[in-house]
Every structure is written in structure tokens, then in C-alpha cells.
Amino acid sequence: MAVRTLPSPGQQVVVVIGDRPAQPAVVDDVRPPTELLLREPMDTPCDPVLGSEVVLRWTSEAGLHELRAEVTREMLNPMPIWELGVRGKPVTVQRRRYARAAEALPAELLHDGISARVVVADLSEGGARCVLHEQDVPEGGDQVELHLTLNRLPLTLVAEVVAVEHGEEDRCDVRLAFSTSGHVSDLLRQRVLAQQRLARERTRP
């Protein structure tokens, strides 16, 4: 199994244990092909999870992925860490429905009463990737609002955080999923097509 098929260290994933509610957690280390270390989710109940089957979900450029594993060891290092035994290969359960294009759009992200300035690094009709600083980061599953301007028109997109990826120098990538229709969908589609045309023109000799 190639490293790129697994989530990256520092990446936020969604964890499901049995019939418990899904909750966010952070990947601590990746040891392909069969081991992955996960920082214990904050809201984990006190009862033992050793031997439990877990399902991890995360997104990449290819879509939404799902991986089944088993908690084989619980450690303190110095924070609680789960060692997971990977079962099989990750499965892509949802491929991207929409074309997307690279962007550099200033925008505002609102979550839990916090306003954060972000840069939209790529955009589609169904989602966006925003870059921001770690002190203002929402969590996976949070409902947020993305405020941006397209063609001089202000847009407010209600979205869900589907993944958070921590980078260097306090940079953080937050991936959003949203549903649009009508005029908003048209605006986003036109923007994506225009950006794709510009990208093609820049690569022509």
C-alpha cells in the first residue's frame, strides 16, 4: 500500500467506533502498510476501546475515503495515542462530482462566532479548500459560513468542514463541502471554467 493512499501525519480525520457518534481526531504517524497512530479523540468515553473496530474517513483531491482498522494498543506519548491495525486498503466512497480550479480569493470564514480571514485556494460548485492560521481553525463536522465575492457580487455559502490538514508555520488547510443551486451555482461554475481557461493559456508555449 503506497503512503499516499493513507491520511498524512497531522491530518484531521473523522472517527467512528461502533454506534457512537462520529468525532474528529488527528493522525499522529503513518507506518504503511499495516499501522497507523491516531491521537485519541477528545470526546472518547472512559470505557476501553482496545480491540474495537474503527472507521476512519477523510478527503483528498480524489474524493472521500474510508478505512477500517482495529485498535491494537493504547499508549501515552505524552498524549493518549491509539495504535491501529489497518484492515485492507482505503476505499474511495465518493468521487468528486464537480470540476474545480485553483484560486487565490480572499474570503471570510465564520464558525462558532469566530471570524477568520482565509484564502480560498481552490473552488468548485460543491466545495472549497481554504488556507488559514491554526488559531482560527474549525473542526471536522462543524457548520460554517464562507463569505466571498465573485463578479463583484457578495456570496454567503453555508458549508460543512469535511477535513482539516495541518501544515508548516501555523498554516492549515480546511476543506469545505456545500450545496448550491440556481444563480449561485451558475456563478461558481462560470468562475471555475474561467480559471481553467486561464490555467490552460498560461501553459501554452
DSSP 53-72: EEEEEEEETTEEEEEEEEEE
- Long-range contacts formed by 85-91: CB under 8 A, 24+ apart: 85/34, 85/35, 86/1, 86/6, 86/33, 86/34, 86/35, 86/36, 87/53, 89/1, 89/5, 90/5, 90/6, 90/65, 90/66, 91/65, 91/66, 91/67
Q: Are residues 88 and 116 both part of a single domain?
A: no
pLDDT surpassing 90 at residue 91? no
Last residue of a domain, one of 41, 64, 95: 95
Indicate the average pLDDT of the chain: 83
Q: Are residues 110 and 179 both part of a single domain?
A: yes
pLDDT number for residue 179:
84
Domain with residue 110: its CATH number is 2.40.10.220
Q: Are residues 198 and 105 both part of a single domain?
A: yes
Which of 125, 126, 158 lies closest to 144, judged by CA?
158
Q: Are residues 137 and 53 both part of a single domain?
A: no
Q: Mean pLDDT over residues 34-45, rounded?
A: 82
pLDDT tens track for 92-137: 765 556 677 888 899 999 998 889 999 999 898 888 999 998 777 8
Q: Are residues 91 and 108 both part of a single domain?
A: no
pLDDT number for residue 1:
32
Residues 136, 81: Cα–Cα separation, whole Å: 25
Look up the domain containing 83 and give its range: 3-95
pLDDT number for residue 48:
58
Q: Are residues 44 and 91 both part of a single domain?
A: yes
Q: How many domains does the chain have?
A: 2
pLDDT surpassing 50 at residue 174? yes
Last residue of a domain, one of 43, 64, 95: 95
Last residue of a domain, one of 95, 129, 155: 95
Q: Are residues 43 and 106 both part of a single domain?
A: no
Q: Mean pLDDT over residues 22-46, rounded?
A: 83
pLDDT number for residue 95:
52
Task: Decide: pTM greater than 0.95.
Answer: no
Q: Which residue has the higher pLDDT, 99 or 74?
A: 74
Q: Are residues 61 and 112 both part of a single domain?
A: no
Q: Are residues 110 and 181 both part of a single domain?
A: yes
Q: Mean pLDDT over residues 42-60, rounded?
A: 76
Q: Are residues 87 and 7 both part of a single domain?
A: yes
pLDDT number for residue 2:
35
Q: Are residues 112 and 30 both part of a single domain?
A: no
pLDDT tens track for 6-16: 888 988 888 88
Q: Mean pLDDT over residues 46-54, rounded?
A: 77
